[in-house]
Amino acid sequence: MAVWVDAAGRVTGPPVTLSQVRGVAALAAALACIVVGFLVVCAGLLTRSMLGQRRLAAWDADWRATEPQWTGRR
């Protein structure tokens, strides 16, 4: 029966296997891809919202300049 000890001499569990390391690395890579994708989508939505507000503000300013010519109101 094998007994595993750490550097201080305390009994510990067996070291991780290569398949466990590969599994954790694959999980970390998958999660990193998901997180980066989520951040890209959030940045795109935020940018779209900001550009939409800017476009509407410009449209409103143009309309305020054009409306008096169309309606005769000043």
- Would you mind telling me the total number of residues written for the chain in this entry? 74
Using one digit for the tens of pLDDT, what is the confidence trace for 13-36?
Answer: 999 999 999 999 999 999 999 999
The DSSP bridge partners found for residue 12 are: 4
| Residue 74 CB burial class (10 angstroms; 0-12, 13-18, ≥19) | exposed
* Residue 29 CA: distances (Å) to CA of 21, 25, 42: 12, 6, 20
pLDDT of residue 72: 76
High-pLDDT (> 70) share of the chain, %: 97
| Domain definitions of the chain by residue range | 16-71
